[in-house]
Amino acid sequence: MVSGLLKVFTSNKSFALPIIGSPILNTLGLHTFRMRLANGFLALRRFQVAGLMRPIESQQFKRDGIVVLEDFLSESEFSNLVSEVKNTMTAIDTRSPIQNYGDQGFGQKHTFDWGFDRYDGDTLNRFYAIKAEHNATHSFINNKRLKRLTCLFAGTYHDPSKYYLYKLFHGTEDTNADSQKAIHRDTFHSAIKLWYFLEDVKPEHGPFHYAPGTHRLTNRRLKWEKKRSIQASKENKGGAFRISNEELNTLGDGQLTSFPVKANTLVIADIRGFHCRGAALEHQSRLSIYANIRPAPFLPAFHAGKLRAGLNKAKQIFQR
């Protein structure tokens, strides 16, 4: 009972859990209470990491839940970065060729030298770890503008370990559909994903789709979330809610929009907003630097690097 209660104040979102998934408690508003409380902590964390200073992009992100920034790097910086990333990927792909693991639906991680694969249906996500020798990539990750935006939007301090080189390969949809192509929201609390695209993303490449404004907790959204939480509680379902395009339009908070972009474009989105991966031609790919930044929703901000260093030091002391 105590363990279940504590999970209420974590990022756990599964309605298969005893208290989080209680039909009675969610009828009384537990799920929407967690959403509102997480918003309060988000405001606190944003003040911690950024004070009252707000970059010009913050108003758009507050309104829409997404910003698209073209020509993010200079031509020379971008050229050096693309060359480094492609050379790295080519070398790793040669040592660890792509393979099909037979996963159905949302697959598990399959690690390989310098990264891991994960399938969404027949669509492959290949993540490449960023190493110390990747100078141009580290320069991008530590870009002052990037850090200022991500720290503010996510309400957390900068953590380079969240970043990967990322290549997406679209598969076939007939026998093993990609669940990420269904409209959904990832979390009950605000969190961000970002893609810095190293090649043009055209309609045939399956661009990111997002419904601007649907990250906000409007009365209509909270009413919808409460209804879905009760339903999910009764069915012991997960917490990444799906929604049809018709239902999204009825909700009225924002329409699903495609975001094809040019190379050298940064996209940052609040994944509490409704989004999906666009339909694509088979075997098309997208190339980017990617990060999934999800701070603990009910805690103040803390330095992940300093925390890891402190834990390692404590571990060394106890091992003496």
Q: pLDDT per residue over 33-62, tens digit each? A: 999 999 999 999 999 999 888 999 999 999
Examine residue 10 and state whether it is found in any structural domain, yes or no. no
Q: Residue 237 is encoded by which pair of tokens?
A: 């379902």
95: left (phi over 0), alpha (psi -120 to 50) or beta: alpha
- pLDDT for residue 209: 98
Across the range 278-286, mean pLDDT stands at 93
Is residue 1, in this structure, part of any structural domain at all?
A: no
What range does the domain containing 244 cover?
22-296+303-319
Do 290 and 195 touch, CB atoms closer than 8 A?
yes
State the pLDDT confidence band at 4, using cuts at 50, 70 and 90: confident
Quick check: 276 and 181 in contact, CB under 8 A?
Answer: yes
Weakest mean pLDDT among 78-87, 137-146, 286-295, 297-306: 297-306
For residue 317, what pLDDT is reported?
Answer: 62
Q: In this structure, is residue 178 part of a structural domain?
A: yes
Q: Report pTM.
A: 0.93
- What's the average model confidence in pLDDT over 194-206? 97
The total number of structural domains in the chain stands at 1
Cβ(198)–Cβ(81) below 8 Å: yes
- Give the whole-number percent of the chain exceeding pLDDT 90: 84
Q: Determine contact, residues 165/137, Cβ cutoff 8 Å.
A: yes
| Mean pLDDT computed over 195-207 | 97
- pLDDT at position 305, please? 62
How much is the average pLDDT of 184-190? 97
Q: What confidence score (pLDDT) does residue 151 get?
A: 96
What pLDDT is stored for residue 111 in this prediction? 94
Is there a domain that residue 8 lies in?
A: no
Question: What's the confidence (pLDDT) of residue 39?
Answer: 97
Dist CA 14 CA 88 (whole Å): 37
Q: What residues contact 40, with CB distance under 8 A and at least 6 apart?
A: none
Judge contact between 127 and 116, C-beta under 8 A. yes
Tokens of 140: 């991008």
Which CATH number is 195's domain given? 2.60.120.620
Average pLDDT taken over every residue of the chain? 93
Query: Phi/psi of residue 100, each to 5°?
Result: -100, 125
293 Cβ contact list (under 8 Å, min separation 6): 150, 154, 156, 159, 162, 191, 192, 193, 194
pLDDT digits (tens, 9 = 90+) for 235-274: 988 899 999 999 999 888 889 999 999 999 999 999 999 9
pLDDT of residue 252: 84
17: in domain: no
Q: What pLDDT does residue 314 have?
A: 62
- 178, 120 contact by CB (below 8 A): yes
Residue 15 maps to a domain: no
Q: How confident is the model at residue 302 (pLDDT cuts 50, 70, 90)?
A: confident
Would you say residue 190 has pLDDT above 90? yes
In a domain, 11, yes or no: no
DSSP secondary structure string for all residues of 166-205: EEEE---SSSS--GGGS-B---SS--EEEEEESS-B-GGG
Residues in the chain, overall count: 320
Q: Is residue 16 part of a domain?
A: no
* Number of C-beta neighbours around residue 147 at 10 A: 15
Per-residue pLDDT, 306: 63
Q: pLDDT class for 80, splitting at 50, 70, 90? A: very high
Q: What is the mean pLDDT of residues 290-319?
A: 77
